[in-house]
Structure 1
Amino acid sequence: ITDSKGRKVNRSAVNFSQYNEKTFPFSMRQPPSKGNALGLVKFIFPNPYNIYLHDTPAKNLFSREVRAFSHGCVRLADPFDFAYALLAKEVGNPKEYFQAQLATGKEQRVNLKSPVPVHIIYRTASTNAKGHTQYRRDVYGRDAQVWNALAKAGVALRAVQG
């Protein structure tokens, strides 16, 4: 915990109940670790929503059908492989480089020389490798907005049963 001037604050000396989300004068950070909710690594990319891609200690969540557990950010099932792929054009041996960064035990920032576009797409229906349509629950309530926009644009729509 740090105050507005970046000085460390002893959390036991703070009466947190006296603050609300608008008056909270502290910054809180948890260092990267196996116990950190963001895991060992996060990938920051420019966007107005402070969304980023990150590791997770809760790997078991990937086996669930509904996976909206990350409060807006995107958990990666294989963040190290993702890092290796991003670093492939940047360094000679991406795996060795990445592991060396982790081995320092300190937070590291690695800026890519060549930007990689990031596109986040929310879909509740998709086609699998066999050509069958698969449907997911609309956890963010976006389907109605898309349906209305398409209908307003004159696209003929019909509801899917089942």
Structure 2
Amino acid sequence: LWCLPHQNVPPLAVMEDDRKAYASRFTSEDQVQTSVHNSLNNNFGHIAAAADCLASLKATFSPNSKISVNLGRIPEPLLLYAFRVVASFGLPHWALDVLSQDPDSMYNLLHEYIALNTFEQVAAGHGYLHMGINLAVVHDFALMRKFY
């Protein structure tokens, strides 16, 4: 969760600008709790359906297909995490708007950031070990955005 290179490395210090941004958005524990609960409640249906979406995706591929084999190499909890992140933003499923005239729309930008974030998290959780990914590169957001 912390994306630390080793379990014995202490977490980075929180920057003062981050604290100020947080303090301007939330002034009480109740506000934080309400924000989290509202987000989860508003997207509960999508979050609850994430496991079914993952199962449905897996069912579309033949068990011996390259995609199916590679999906099987990624631990189920990490795959489910990615599906739940998509759902927590109110998206019932992953659906880039690739046919629109605006590839840089806010809708597509949301998908881009979700993709980059979940890729980094799953990689940090060693979900892509079978691919020989260099974690130092995965944590370079500017480079990953160019690859995306």
Larger radius of gyration: 1
Would you tell me which structure has more strand in proportion to its own residues? 1
Q: Same fold (TM over 0.5)?
A: no
Q: Give the TM bin, normalised by the shorter chain.
A: under 0.3
Q: Which structure is higher in RCO with an 8 Å CA cutoff and minimum separation 6?
A: 2
